[in-house]
Amino acid sequence: MSPLPPRPKPDPKAPRQSLPLLDPELREGSPAEVALGFTEEQARAEALRCLRCQKPTCIDACPLNIDIKRFILRMVEGDYAGAHDVISEQSPFPGVCGRVCQHELFCEDACIVGRRWDPVAIGSLERFAADHARLRMRELAGGDPACPSGPKVALVGSGPASLIAAFDLARKNYRVTIFEALHELGGVLAYGIPGFRLPREILNEEIARLRSLGVQFVTSFVVGKSATLDELFDEGFAAVFIGTGAGLPYLLNIPGENLIGVYTANEFLTRLNLMEAYRFPERPTPVHVGRQTVVVGGGNSAMDAARWARRMGSETTILYRRGRAELKARLEEIEHAEDEGIRFEFLAAPVALCGNHDGFVTSIECIRMELGDPDESGRRSPVPVPGSTFRIPAETVVAAIGQAPNPTLQKATPGLHTRRGKIVIDEQGQTSLHRVFAGGDVVRGGSTVILAMKDGRAAATAIHRALSPNGGNHHESRP
Ligand code: FAD
């Protein structure tokens, strides 16, 4: 056998590669993906920027502990399938996470290269490995599904928390069923995050891999209404995980909120993403987007709603009570929103919505803010500047100011402890009820995809421990 060619030396000083983007003119009216992914040449060049640290801090910083150093090394060698295999040891969702995870808060924040230069673009490399493996993975997913034979576990909700729990439990031979209230799978990944950030086929292909592990899905099934938790246990489920997310939007609580043309981001995005209102009347669900839209908020939902409004041809303003540095959305989405011509009105908050005789919203009255002392989150709190009100014309207003857990299941489940609407869990991820676990946004409030996955993984470990007679060793041999 001929010896392997020597690996090229790391080159951290080389400039970080930028993601090729869809031309802004082609984005109108369309969910076409904006970030196009690295070319092979870019992926190789970016992979070479990794220092291959002795103690890679990026791995500890990844809530799923993906072996980032090893997968990037595979990419340096041109072994993209191998890179994908390394990621898949920990996560079956590299196409999703490579696109929507806030890498700048986790692995890329910890990247040693970032101490002197720009950090390695770990997220874009993860995405490249995933996209490269698509064909091979489609073939694998098309084979006969596995038939697990262990105890039955019910997962409520099909967001990232439940999806990773299903992956971990199915690999340990549990018979997993996911119950989802909506007709589509994926939670926020399907109804909240637009296709121009996360194409549906990428999400569906990665979910299909769970089917091949034997995971069952039941859609249009609201636990707490279609069946209670007790009824699931009566059906033979040995444990339940609640990953129902935070789908109850906060309202602005200002005069005029009932005017026509005022939406919560949740409704606005569900209409456009899940019901494809951008294709109305070909699709039955409409959405009213006027000539001017104001979106209130500074997180991912606000960027997504504003970018959809822009795609629907509306002049769009994001109204945020703090400054640009405090925006909570992914950096990439903020930059894309700016590229797309969205205007930002910083340090301003809404005080009233004004309408016409027909009940349609026509403008939004705002007040200037200044930043005062830090609040409990450590961020400086916005304080209104007296006498500084002003108006912005708006035929559509979208409130994107955060979400709380939907209370349906909690209300139908006596003895399930909650605090301020969030389900309370112990350090094992267990709720106040025996063999009922919870994680993700229903526990944390609005959070991130990767932290929801971290919780789902922790709960799967705890469920395995709870259901194993020997406290966590494999039970494959159980009858
Ligand atoms: P969810 O994803 O909310 O899924 C919960 C699921 O449970 C839903 O499908 C719901 O229909 C279902 N459900 C609820 N009640 C029941 C019931 N009683 N019975 C059955 N099913 C039920 N994070 C990032 O890291 N990056 C981003 O780019 C990003 N963008 C975002 C954009 C938007 C618009 C929003 C709203 C959030 C975004 N987030 C982002 C946050 C991230 O999506 C969430 O933190 C994450 O999805 C939470 O996952 P989860 O599994 O806890 O719940």
Query: Side-chain half-sphere of 315: how many Cα atoms within 13 Å?
Result: 6
Q: How far is the CA of 281 from the centre of ligand 1 (A)?
A: 28
- The reported pLDDT for the residue numbered 5 is 65
Q: For ligand 1, is residue 382 a contact (CB within 6 Å)?
A: no
159-202 pLDDT, tens digit per residue, is 999 999 999 999 999 999 999 999 999 999 999 999 999 999 99
Q: What is the pLDDT of residue 1?
A: 53
Fold for the domain defined by 152-247+405-471: FAD/NAD(P)-binding domain (3.50.50)
Whether 243 is in the pocket of ligand 1, judged by its Cβ within 6 Å, is yes
Distance separating alpha carbons of residues 318 and 364, to the nearest angstrom: 12
CB 465 within 8 A of CB 471: yes
Ligand 1: which of 101, 333, 449 to mutate, judged by most atoms within 8 Å of the beta carbon?
449
Confirm or reject: Cβ of 48 under 6 Å from ligand 1. Answer: no
Distance CA 103, CA 381 (A): 26
Looking at residue 94, its pLDDT comes to: 96
CATH class of 249-403: alpha beta
Query: Residue 130 is encoded by which pair of tokens?
Result: 């995933």
Which is the closest atom of ligand 1 to the Cα of 157?
A: 7
| Ligand 1 contact, 244 CB (< 6 A) | yes
Residue ranges of the chain with per-residue pLDDT less than 70: 1-5, 470-479
pLDDT at 30: 82
Three-class DSSP category at 276? coil
Give the nearest ligand 1 atom to 162 CA: 51
* Residue 41 CA, ligand 1 centroid: distance in Å: 35
pLDDT in the model for residue 99: 97
Q: Are residues 145 and 185 in contact, defined by beta-carbon separation less than 8 angstroms?
A: no
**Does ligand 1 come within 6 angstroms of the Cβ of 397?**
no
24-132 and 152-247+405-471 agree in CATH topology = no
- What atom in ligand 1 is closest to the CA of residue 186? 9
Ligand 1: centre distance to CA 245 (Å): 5
Nearest CA to ligand 1 atom 14: 244
Rounded to the nearest angstrom, the distance between the alpha carbon of 195 and the centre of ligand 1 is: 15
Give the residue extent of every domain in the chain. 24-132, 152-247+405-471, 249-403
Nearest 5°: phi and psi at 361?
A: -70, 140
Query: Which residue CA neighbors atom 33 of ligand 1 most closely?
Result: 301
Are the beta carbons of 156 and 243 closer than 8 angstroms?
Answer: yes
| Atom from ligand 1 closest to the CA of residue 446 | 45
**What count of Cα atoms within 13 Å lies in the side-chain half-sphere of residue 179?**
21
**Closest approach atom of ligand 1 to CA 198:** 28
Domain 24-132 has CATH 1.10.1060.10: yes
pLDDT for res 478: 28
The CA distance from 272 to 287, in Å, is 7
